[in-house]
Structure 1
């Protein structure tokens, strides 16, 4: 299975390649705004997939493909972070002035995005086997930061979007996934105790 990891990363890179291609090939119709939006969408979608892995594993425990998903969950999370970094780089390049970026950073829509990115940095930096071994139990505690980071991510989407309807739909899906995860984990805990 490990030999398929480069294939997974090639697949995860395809949306980014498409964004860059469209931006290069048709800069008049596909400019900064589209590139910022699409990279942000992919960061959020991959974050949702990453968070959905645990409930999917709990629901389909006996299926081999869920074990593969669990092993690749960190890859999905790092890919989400990579798209978030791309989203940020494109945004900063579009503003073309550090003073403009700093001035806007205090507004609620931008502040939530910057805070989410700051929380994701230690998660991405420790999403490797070496960090898991070095941090031991602390690794799981640290990686619980994904939940406030996810809330900030989707709050940023709501506040920054021209039309937040899509963001609200994604928040509803994410809330359902998280409620399902909590319910399944509690049920499993009761079954183990009983």
Structure 2
């Protein structure tokens, strides 16, 4: 059932629909701050799931669900980018003026967010079969930009959060996932 892309995308869109509905239905209670925070959270969570696919596949090679994740990893990454783009659009709408956006762009919390977004744009644009065929081996090298982009994303989260505790917890989880990935890939090369 989840092998159908439209159904997967409908499920991936549900948090965005929920964010939009809450913002529209209760703008005073929910407001820009919650919409910015929730869209950023979903962008980061989907990024973490995307990055966890390789270690999961290396750990659970014979499991069908890991093969499904490998086939849908680009979808998850593009969904992460979509939430990041929504996060940015809400921020820009809230600021409502180009001078205010430019003025804030140089601060460490905003600069890391803008840099992360800039790295994610070519990844999202090339996350399709046509780009994979056209770029051949260069596609994989290009998509390794996800690692510095992820670091920038989580640094942005720490610096921009009112309480960075949750961001630090997610950084710990991401670091554990990436260390596991590196260890499993090295072990695989040795054996």
Bin the TM-score by the shorter chain.
over 0.9
Distance apart, 1:65 and its partner CA: 1.4
The aligned runs of 1:78-157 (5 Å cut-off) are: 78-157=78-157
Which secondary structure state, in structure 1, belongs to the residue aligned with residue 4 of structure 2? helix
Q: Could you give the per-residue CA deviations for residues 36-79 of structure 1, whole angstroms, max 9, x where no partner exists?
A: 00000000000000000000000000111111110100000000
Tell me which residue corresponds to 2:55.
55
Distance apart, 1:130 and its partner CA: 0.3
**Contact (CA 8 Å) 2:2, 2:8: kept in 1 or not?**
no
Q: Could you give the per-residue CA deviations for residues 117-176 of structure 1, whole angstroms, max 9, x where no partner exists?
A: 000000000000000000000000000000000000000000000100000000000000
Pair 176,3 (structure 1): closer, same or farther in 2 beyond 3 Å: closer
Distance apart, 1:3 and its partner CA: 5.5
Q: Could you give the per-residue CA deviations for residues 90-125 of structure 1, whole angstroms, max 9, x where no partner exists?
A: 000001101000000000000000000000000000
Q: TM-score, normalised by structure 2?
A: 0.98
Give 4+ residue runs of structure 1 displaced > 3 Å after superposition.
none
**In 2, Cα distance between equivalents of 1:23 and 1:65:** 35
Cα RMSD of the aligned pairs, angstroms, is 1.0
For the pair 1:183 / 2:176, whether they are aligned, the reply is: no
Tell me which residue corresponds to 1:41.
41
